[in-house]
Amino acid sequence: MPVVLRLLLASVLTAAAVGCGVVLFDDDESGGDQAAGTSAPLSSFDTTDLTVLRTGFCEGVADSAVAEALQAEPEGETSYANGDRVRLTEEIRDRAHEHGCQWRAGGVAASGWVFAPPVPRATADELLRRARDANGCEPVPDAPAYGEPSVGLVCTSRRGQEVSFRGLFGDAWLVCSLRLTDVSAGQSATEVVDRTGRWCVAVARAASAVPTSR
């Protein structure tokens, strides 16, 4: 299997599993709210024609979207870029071929990442198949589109639950997720899926924006 495809598959399985344990890199720079950062359900947001850039987007994620996803102000933020050395799975530590970030508060983590290399449709189909087949993961019924093709997943393990949406935007493979350590308190399963969808809209908006100079 080509090295890039191996890393793509390793990354998608990592993102599908709850508590993936990615070792990220601290990024002290925080992004401001975008004018388009108001909350919107994924079901009413058309992602099929969205152009996602295969580059860093973390600074463009609206602060209000992070707080809404976590239901609290973030206690920690980490990010990594293409070429950084990260833990892709429990067994694999290698150079990342993606840009990603995560915010945490209490037992909640909101994440998003996009592959740096282009992803052809055939590879996207294989990534979706492997994500659906991952242990403890089930598709979200009637999941709204998150690119084309795409899937929504609920993955459960002893460490908690993770809801994610992932899909292909042109040649960009974008993934967003919300992980909850305590799934017995707070919201219903339907509410958590909606909350994740709103977070994923914010990630898609940021990832499709023209990056600002730093």
Chain segment 50-93, per-residue pLDDT in tens? 999 999 999 999 999 999 999 999 999 988 877 666 654 445 55
Strand ranges, E, within 88-193: 93-95, 98-105, 108-115, 137-139, 150-157, 160-169, 172-180
Helix axes 3-16, 121-133, angle to 10 degrees: 40
Residue 85 domain-assigned (yes or no): yes
Query: Cα–Cα distance between 137 and 131 in angstroms, integer?
Result: 8
* Inter-residue contact 133 to 80 (CB < 8 Å): no
Residue 61 domain-assigned (yes or no): yes
- What one-character DSSP code corresponds to residue 43? G
Residue 181 domain-assigned (yes or no): yes
Residue 48 domain-assigned (yes or no): yes
Domain coverage including residue 163:
3-207
Query: Cα–Cα distance between 17 and 144 in angstroms, integer?
Result: 21
Determine the average pLDDT of the residues in 120-126.
97
Please give the tally of structural domains in the chain: 1
Residue 135 domain-assigned (yes or no): yes
- Confidence label for 30 from pLDDT (cuts 50, 70 and 90): very low
- Cα–chain center distance at 126: 18
Tell me what percent of the residues of the chain surpass a pLDDT of 70. 71
Query: Cα–Cα distance between 166 and 16 in angstroms, integer?
Result: 9
Residue 214 domain-assigned (yes or no): no
- Confidence label for 28 from pLDDT (cuts 50, 70 and 90): very low
Residue 213 domain-assigned (yes or no): no
Residue bearing the bigger pLDDT, 209 or 130:
130
Residue 89 domain-assigned (yes or no): yes
Determine the average pLDDT of the residues in 173-201.
89
